Amino acid sequence: MIRVNGEPQEFAAESVEELLQRLSIESRGVAVAIDGEVVRRSEWTEKRIEDGNAIEIVTAVAGG
């Protein structure tokens, strides 16, 4: 079991990029942190999700 933005999700052995695809989250303007540590976009294809991880996915919103 993992938590994504505080919500429980089934654990799957996948990368950050695969998780975003599975959740249908557009990667443009998105930041991802695993257990409080920001994951660089260049590492998304290699960084693996582990069972028990807490993942925060934040989307930048422009406005003014």
At 23 the pLDDT is 95
At 62 the pLDDT is 73
Domains of the chain in start order, with CATH, are 2-59 (3.10.20.30)
**Run of H or E residues at 20:** helix 16-22
The reported pTM is 0.88
At 61 the pLDDT is 78
Q: Tokens 């942190």 sit at which residue?
A: 33
Q: What is the DSSP secondary-structure string of 37-53?
A: EEEPGGGTTTPBP-TT-
**Run of H or E residues at 16:** helix 16-22
- 10-residue stretch averages of pLDDT, the chain, 64 residues long: 96 96 94 98 97 95 71
At 64 the pLDDT is 62
Contacts of 23 (CB under 8 A, 6+ apart): 4, 57
